[in-house]
Amino acid sequence: MGSDLYRVKVVSKKAATAVFDVKVIHPDISTIPEDRSFALMLLREAAKDSLLAREVATADKTDKTWLKKYASGFIPSVALKCTGNSAKRGRLTVTVSDPAWIDHVKPGESFDTAAFQRIDKYDRHPPILATKGAAEPPGVDGAALDDGFLWVPREAFGDVRLLKPLPRSSRCRPTPSARTRSSTSCRGRSLPSGSRRGTARPCGRWSPAGRRKARSGS
Q: Tell which residue, 161, 166, 11, 156, has the closest CA to residue 90.
A: 11
Average pLDDT on 163-190 reads 50
| Judgement on whether residues 34 and 125 belong to the same structural domain of the protein | yes
| Higher-scoring residue by pLDDT: 94, 177 | 94
| Judgement on whether residues 190 and 132 belong to the same structural domain of the protein | no
Could you say which of 104, 137, 170 is where a domain stops?
137
Phi, psi of 92 (to 5 degrees): -105, 125
| Higher-scoring residue by pLDDT: 94, 45 | 94
Print the domain residue range for 109: 6-137
| Judgement on whether residues 13 and 91 belong to the same structural domain of the protein | yes
Rounded CA separation 145/109 (Å): 37
DSSP string, 81-103: EE-TT-TTEEEEEEE-SSGGGGT
Q: Tell which residue, 37, 165, 19, 157, has the closest CA to residue 95.
A: 19
Average pLDDT on 70-91 reads 94
Averaged pLDDT score across all residues of the chain: 76
Average pLDDT on 52-76 reads 94
Total domains in the fold of the chain: 2
Average pLDDT on 11-35 reads 96
Q: Is residue 158 included in any domain, yes or no?
A: no
Q: Do residues 127 and 98 lie in contact, with contact meaning Cβ atoms separated by under 8 Å?
A: yes
> In the chain, what percentage of residues exceed pLDDT 70?
59
127-146: per-residue pLDDT in tens? 999 975 444 444 444 444 44
Rounded CA separation 21/92 (Å): 6
| Judgement on whether residues 129 and 206 belong to the same structural domain of the protein | no
Q: Is residue 160 included in any domain, yes or no?
A: no
Alpha helices, DSSP H only, in 19-63?
36-46, 51-55
The reported pLDDT for the residue numbered 97 is 97
